[in-house]
């Protein structure tokens, strides 16, 4: 559409110039008469308006959270169902021990994806690497916290993986990465604010393309808050479920 | 079991024993319609915060600022006192667009020299960049035409009525077909709902397949083709009702136009549901647990949407990607045609789309019988092993 507008404009200005020249005006002067105000457009941070730079960083984060969804979500449900660990192991210990390998492997996978983005798809990395890794680390923490919550609430592992379909999957589009946050209203604005990717999607793109993210500290704080809040609620539910499960097991043993 | 008994059994499972299946069939498509309907409700990006740096501070520059402020696209939230302040506001994301009017703006116009207004936008978000750049260009071009008419009439001593057709010799009217206000709601909501529909059908039919594989004794030697036919018939019927509910809600709640006849829409949907259900049965039967199948289908859904050509056109993809999208993702034959049918009432090649979906479905159907047989044998082996362990 923009190119059609530009073509029409150029043609119209050229024709107007010729018509004004007919009134005895010199060509150059005629051009300035019919087209006195020009626009100079300067696109910051993505001068070629490339879709690769625009979308890929967010898609990487979305892929990462789907990978975590598939691997982390069944964990707590499985622990509740199987009841392998007795009351000697605290819920906090079990949750932390289970989460740490996924957090670490997630971070490695994120770092490899960043390398892929820049070396394979030529998306620039303008910020310092530690900032990107810090953001990735906090993002994975928040996603694990949220997924733990789904896991603790679900009666079985299959439902635990299916439930976040309505939360994690729309994340990319609710994150403000394409449709801007300031155009969201009411429910969608609130829904978006609960998602970890909202605090990481735009920020990772800013870090990569512009070299800075004005809300970097705020985003880290929000990722920490989301992860910690969801993780704490998950811990409460998980502890309660384990307690009930232990009681039932004790009763059964007593009966036998 | 005869066909009626199979259907009765499936109905009992879907509605009473495992009601999450009916939630998947109806819930996925309708909840996504609601979610994305509410997200894209504003339709287009408006009132983008902008900053103005007016170095000229003249009558002409103020007139231009008024034109910008009057437009729906921009909302001037700041007036910068220096170039640094303007760039700083852009950097801090206090604003997303900046307009700089140079010092000699009015002087250049008065002298008949070209005056350039600088427009800056953060290109990292292309939605902002594209929307605001088009609007800025329109505003400044209109402003330029008005200035040209006024000043040229003064210089040449001609009336504005005579000059106007010379300064603006060509008028072009833009006519946007099918989505005249270019709302994102119509553009995105339909395809995203179809993606969720596909996912919901996968989950529902996958749960059904795995229930049967885990309860083989209940099947009483029912032929597999009959069992699959029964499943297909029931799920397909429910999916059709879910699709009709989608059309109703999309039309009445989100005002998505339904321009094509219901026959065309239902024909396309029938072929789509057939392809998705057959593919779902085929893949589900291969996995030993429902959990594994669910994981794989979750990984499948995002590429299916992106490769379907719904946002990034299929023609712009490499040939190998196009081939993959056409063979492995039924959504490719559904997402664009359904949007075309709803918004314009017609699509390029409906018969081809339907035939392709039927072909994908038929191939998967043939293989799903084999896959189910394979799954049954695996489960029988596993239960035999478990029995052996238990006896030991």
3-class SS of residue B53 = strand
* pLDDT of amino acid A30: 86
Cross-chain residue pair B167–A34, CB shorter than 8 Å: yes
Residue B280 has pLDDT above 90, yes or no: yes
* pLDDT of amino acid A148: 95
CB contact B43 to A (< 8 Å): no
| CA separation for the pair B190, B36 (Å, rounded) | 9
pLDDT averaged per 10 residues in sequence order, chain A, 256 residues: 73 85 84 88 79 87 93 91 81 94 97 95 92 97 96 92 85 88 89 94 91 93 96 95 85 79
> Beta partners for A40?
B118
Average the pLDDT over each of A90-104, A165-179, B7-21, B24-38 and give the range with the smallest value. Answer: A165-179
Cross-chain residue pair B93–A215, CB shorter than 8 Å: yes
**Region B48-167: CATH code:** 3.40.1710.10
CB contact B219 to A (< 8 Å): no
Tell me which residues of chain A, numbers 164 to 193, contact chain B at a CB-CB cutoff of 8 Å: 165-166, 169-170, 172-174, 177-180, 182-188, 191
Residue B392 has pLDDT above 70, yes or no: no
> What are the residue boundaries of the structural domains of chain A, listed by start?
2-34, 51-255
Cross-chain residue pair B109–A54, CB shorter than 8 Å: no
CA angle centred on B292, ends B361 and B27, rounded to 5°:
65
* pLDDT of amino acid B180: 67
Band of pLDDT at residue B53, cut at 50, 70 and 90: very high
Residues in chain A: 256
CB contact B160 to A (< 8 Å): no
* pLDDT of amino acid A81: 82
Band of pLDDT at residue B183, cut at 50, 70 and 90: confident
Per-residue pLDDT of B190-225, as tens digits, reads: 999 999 999 999 999 999 999 999 888 887 778 888
What region, left, alpha or beta, does residue B221 occupy, with left being phi > 0 and alpha being psi -120 to 50 degrees? left
* pLDDT of amino acid B276: 96
CB contact A38 to B (< 8 Å): yes
* DSSP string over B205-236: HHHHHHHHHHTGGGGTT--HHHHHHHHHHHHH
3-class SS of residue B73 = coil
ipTM, 2 dp = 0.84
Residue B300 has pLDDT above 60, yes or no: yes
- Tell me the average pLDDT of chain B: 90
* pLDDT of amino acid B181: 66
Cross-chain residue pair B118–A180, CB shorter than 8 Å: no
Q: Which of A165, A191, A210 to mutate to test the interface with B (most CBs of B within 10 A)?
A: A165
Residue B312 has pLDDT above 80, yes or no: yes
Give the chain A residue whose CA is nearest to the CA of B88. Answer: A214
CA distance A37 to chain B (A): 5
CB contact B4 to A (< 8 Å): no
What's the burial of A103, exposed, middle or buried (CB within 10 Å: 0-12/13-18/19+)? middle
Average the pLDDT over each of A32-46, B170-184, B324-338 and give the range with the smallest value. Answer: B170-184
> What are the residue boundaries of the structural domains of chain B, listed by start?
3-40+184-391, 48-167
* pLDDT of amino acid A245: 84
Cross-chain residue pair B119–A66, CB shorter than 8 Å: no
Cross-chain residue pair B141–A9, CB shorter than 8 Å: yes
- Unique residue bearing structure tokens 């909202």: A198
Cα torsion angle, B220, B225, B231, B233, sign: negative
């Amino acid at each position: 559409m923009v190119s059609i507008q530009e073509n029409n404009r150029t043609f119209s200005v050229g024709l107007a110039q010729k018509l004004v020249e007919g009134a005895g005006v010199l060509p150059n002067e005629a051009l300035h008469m019919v087209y006195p105000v020009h626009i100079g457009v300067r696109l910051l941070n993505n001068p070629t308006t490339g879709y690769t730079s625009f979308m890929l960083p967010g898609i990487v984060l979305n892929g990462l959270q789907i990978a975590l969804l598939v691997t982390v979500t069944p964990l707590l449900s499985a622990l509740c169902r199987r009841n392998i660990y007795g009351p000697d192991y605290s819920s906090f210990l079990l949750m932390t021990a289970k989460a740490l390998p996924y957090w670490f492997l997630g971070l490695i996978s994120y770092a490899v994806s960043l390398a892929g983005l820049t070396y394979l798809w030529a998306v620039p990395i303008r910020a310092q690497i530690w900032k990107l890794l810090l953001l990735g680390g906090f993002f994975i923490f928040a996603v694990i916290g949220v997924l733990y919550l789904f896991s603790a609430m679900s009666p079985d592992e299959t439902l635990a993986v299916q439930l976040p379909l309505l939360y994690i999957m729309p994340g990319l589009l609710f994150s403000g990465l394409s449709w801007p946050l300031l155009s969201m209203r009411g429910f969608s604005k609130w829904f978006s604010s609960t998602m970890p990717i909202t605090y990481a999607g735009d920020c990772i793109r800013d870090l990569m393309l512009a070299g800075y993210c004005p809300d970097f500290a705020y985003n880290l704080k929000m990722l920490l808050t989301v992860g910690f809040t969801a993780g704490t609620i998950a811990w409460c539910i998980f502890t309660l479920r384990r307690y009930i499960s232990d009681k039932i097991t004790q009763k059964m043993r007593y009966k036998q | 079991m005869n066909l009626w008994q199979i259907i009765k059994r499936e109905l009992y499972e879907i509605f009473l024993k495992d009601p999450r299946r009916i939630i998947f069939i109806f819930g996925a498509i309708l909840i996504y319609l609601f979610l994305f309907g509410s997200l894209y409700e504003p339709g287009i990006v408006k009132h983008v915060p902008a900053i103005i740096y007016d170095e000229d501070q003249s009558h002409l520059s103020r007139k231009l600022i008024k034109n910008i402020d009057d437009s729906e696209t921009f909302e001037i939230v700041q007036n910068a006192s220096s170039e640094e302040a303007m760039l700083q506001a852009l950097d801090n994301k206090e604003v997303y667009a900046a307009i700089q009017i140079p010092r000699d703006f009015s002087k250049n116009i008065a002298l008949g020299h070209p005056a350039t207004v600088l427009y800056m936008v953060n290109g990292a978000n292309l939605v902002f960049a594209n929307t605001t750049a088009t609007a800025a260009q329109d505003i400044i071009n209109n402003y330029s035409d008005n200035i040209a008419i006024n000043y040229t009439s003064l210089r040449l001593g001609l009336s504005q009525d005579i000059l106007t057709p010379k300064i603006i010799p060509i008028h072009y009217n833009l006519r946007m077909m099918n989505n005249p206000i270019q709302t994102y709601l119509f553009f995105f909501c339909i395809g995203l709902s179809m993606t969720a529909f596909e996912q919901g059908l996968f989950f529902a039919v996958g749960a059904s397949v795995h229930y049967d594989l885990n309860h083989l004794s209940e099947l009483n030697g029912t032929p597999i083709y009959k069992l699959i036919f029964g499943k297909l018939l029931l799920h397909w019927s429910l999916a059709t009702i879910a699709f009709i509910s989608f059309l109703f809600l999309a039309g009445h709640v989100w005002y998505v136009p339904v321009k094509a006849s219901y026959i065309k829409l239902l024909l396309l949907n029938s072929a789509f549901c057939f392809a998705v259900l057959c593919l779902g049965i085929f893949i589900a039967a291969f996995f030993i647990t429902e959990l594994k199948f669910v994981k794989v289908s979750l990984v499948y859904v995002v590429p299916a949407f992106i490769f379907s050509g719904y946002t990034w056109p299929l023609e712009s993809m490499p040939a190998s990607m196009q081939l993959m999208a056409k063979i492995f993702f039924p959504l490719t034959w559904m997402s664009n045609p359904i949007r075309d049918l709803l918004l314009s009432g017609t699509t390029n090649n409906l018969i081809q789309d339907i035939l392709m979906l039927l072909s994908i479905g038929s191939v998967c159907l043939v293989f799903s019988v084999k896959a189910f047989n394979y799954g049954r044998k695996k489960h029988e082996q596993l239960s035999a092993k478990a029995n052996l362990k238990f006896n030991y």
